[in-house]
Amino acid sequence: MSLTVADPPTAETGGGTPTVASRAREWAGRAPRQVALREKDFGIWQEYTWERTWDLIMDAANGLLALGVEPGQRVSIQSEDRPEWVILDLATVAVRGITVGLYPTNPAAEVEYLLTDSTATIHFAEDQEQVDRALEVDPARLPGLRRILYTEPRGLSSYDDPRLLYWEDFLEMGRSYRRDSPGGVERRMAEALPDDVMTLVYTSGTTGPPKGAMLTNANVDYAMTIINGDTGLRGAQIPGPGDLTLTYLPLCHVAERIFSTWHLVGCGICLNFAESIDTVQSNLREIQPTLFFAVPRIWEKMHASVMIKGGDVTLFKKIWLGFGLRLARVIGREKVANGGNHTPKSWLLNLVGYPLVFRALKERIGLRRCWHAGSGAAPIAPEVLEFFIGIGVPVYEMYGMTENSAVATVNYPGRMKLGTVGEPYPDIGFRIDEETGEIQTKHPAVFLGYWNKPEQTAETFTDDGWLKTGDVGEWVDGTHVRIVDRIKHIIITSGGKNISPSEIENTLKTSPYVKEAMVIGDGRKFLAALIGIELDTVGDWALRQNIPYTTYRDLSEKPEVLELIQKVVNETNEKFARVESIRKFKMIPKELDHEDGELTATQKIKRSAMEDMFGDLVESMYS
């Protein structure tokens, strides 16, 4: 192991810039025996110590050098979360390359777009499925692509594309390169500059093709200092080597990158890779992470599963659990009203509820040891937040976007406000444009621009250099920020009324039966909605009601289900003004899917694609 820098950085080279790779090296030197990564393999959580992790990063980095990766060249990764993702990511940064993350769900067409747009030199495709997608692209369109790495050899033995390279062989290549010409990676690391682009994060692109946001070493460094500083995400509490998190959201998304990779190298926490998105529940139970970040969809699913499982118990447990959940509601309300802190009343109630229900309940959902959880990337239903806070899982909503390295606002422990995304971090440039209501930020973590898209980059900045987030926000009590909607999504009805569809959609989605909702009404007389049911819960409900069904479409068109959804719609309408009420709705006849182009990789509805696809459904509501 070589932890020493061969060529010490000099002032001329501007080297010695802290990068995620150099931070990883520091941890490897400081805590070599500490477990950095954990991955479940053959039913056992295999552990990677910092020493081994750094060794692998060095092997991979030397492998990249052996393959001739020059500074600034792109290494793309299309894989589920696994140690190789993090190792290759850090190795790429170590050799001053640029990591490009692809969603494992990106279909072949998008893979082609992303690989050609980023002109990647090395592509990491996890397994046969991902390799197939990469090989589908005409090699002539990817002249720069030298190698396609893969780590799951199953099914690939008969492939004879010369670009394919097995991960272990790649590491071996790196090892021999390291033996023959040591110090190469160390030199590259010493040459790192603050303005080196370290990653392209492709935005999901609800409109138009994805754009690669360039984040530099300086961006990430600033983001890490802000997020885990004394006035960071968690107030004065800073995570450390004793903390665990579960890594399960796509690592190419900026949120998971922050909460996994950047926390790993920034604070030395231990990453535990979930087997897959479907096993998150059971992996959570095993790992019992101390830090957790989830998108609203996951929180809502967890909440729904508690409700469903809780309804499926024997009488004694039902009474018991019902009592506990009632307590949780009261505690949640009290705490939320008090900024997330206990009031004497909620503290007393918790004293009763914790041993009776909350402890076991939290153990079952895997968040018993969680002292800080976050929700972001989309708005979350307040009821869900209140529930988790009530049972004692401190969930805080936060807000940020790829373009500002997610440095914007956060709900601080003890100062949270329900329905807001919190307060701006102290001393960052944050403003809400008075005219448009758009949120704008300006600080060192704001990105360099979009990869190869100068016009779009220019459009993203105001004349005085502030980043336009595209989100409409408003101040709450002068300190907290509430997100109204994306600017582009605001509906202006034919009556001239401005309506934010997201709020209505999210209220609809609070119901465990509703998975997707899209409110329509731009230039129309009234609002209508397309609603997609949640197959699991509605299916379960139908089973209990003795309603036979065959397919998703069949189920969602049952008159009983329509009635059920009508009830949800009516409840939602009660919460909004008359002009904002949904007069008509239609069921979406299929489950929306990324592959079919209706959803982005982050499961957000692509409105334009939806309007194309279900245009006749929409028209039928207005005729």
Partner 1 sequence: MRGRPKLFTSYVAESQLFPTRIQKVLVVVGIIVLVLMPFDLPVISQIPIVRFLGDNIWLRLVNRMLIFTIAALGLNILSGLAGQVSLGHAFFMGSGAYTAVMLGGKGSANLWGWGLPIWIWLPASGVVAALVGIAVAPAAVRVRGLYLGIATLGLVFIGLHLSRVFPEIAGPGALGRKWPRMQFRLWKEEDPLVDFSRDGDWFWFEVSKNQKTYLLLLALTVVAAVVAANIARTRTGRAFSAIRERDVAAEIMGVPEFRYKTMAFAISSFYAGVAGALLAVLAGQVPPESWGLLLSIQFIAILLIGGIGRVSGALMGTFFVVLSPRFIEEVIDWMKEQVDAGGIFSGVFDTLISTGDGDGGLLAISETALGYPLPASALDELVYGLLIVVFLLFEPLGLYGIWMKVRNYWKGWPFSY
Interacting residues with partner 1 (CB under 8 A): 38, 43-47, 244, 285-288, 309-310, 312-314, 317, 320-321, 324, 357, 360-361, 364, 369
- Answer whether 531's CB lies under 8 Å from 514's CB: yes
Contacts for 430-435 with beta carbons within 8 Å, 24 or more apart? 431/466, 432/473, 432/474, 432/475, 432/481
CB of 358 to partner 1, least distance (A): 9
CB of 274 to partner 1, least distance (A): 13
> Which of 275, 286 has the CB closer to partner 1?
286
> Which of 367, 592 has the CB closer to partner 1?
367
CA-atom Rg of the chain in angstroms:
25
Distance of CA 341 to the CA centre of its chain: 27
CB of 357 to partner 1, least distance (A): 6
CB of 41 to partner 1, least distance (A): 11
> Which of 40, 489 has the CB closer to partner 1?
40
Nearest to 276 by CA among 592, 36, 40: 40
DSSP H/E element including 167: helix 167-180
> Which of 285, 604 has the CB closer to partner 1?
285
Angle (nearest 5°) at CA 566 between 544 and 616: 115
> Which of 43, 548 has the CB closer to partner 1?
43
Q: Residue 533 gets which letter from DSSP?
A: E
CB of 46 to partner 1, least distance (A): 7
> Which of 314, 550 has the CB closer to partner 1?
314
* Sequential DSSP letters for 47-60: EEEHHHHHHHHHHH
- Answer whether 213's CB lies under 8 Å from 201's CB: yes
- Answer whether 265's CB lies under 8 Å from 90's CB: yes
> Which of 291, 527 has the CB closer to partner 1?
291
CB of 155 to partner 1, least distance (A): 22
> Which of 197, 361 has the CB closer to partner 1?
361
Q: Residue 371 gets which letter from DSSP?
A: S
CB of 360 to partner 1, least distance (A): 5
Question: Tokens at residue 388, please?
Answer: 């988790």
Q: What are phi and psi of 59, to 5 degrees?
A: -60, -45
- Answer whether 509's CB lies under 8 Å from 605's CB: no
Half-sphere exposure of 446 (CA within 13 A, CB side): 17
CB of 451 to partner 1, least distance (A): 40
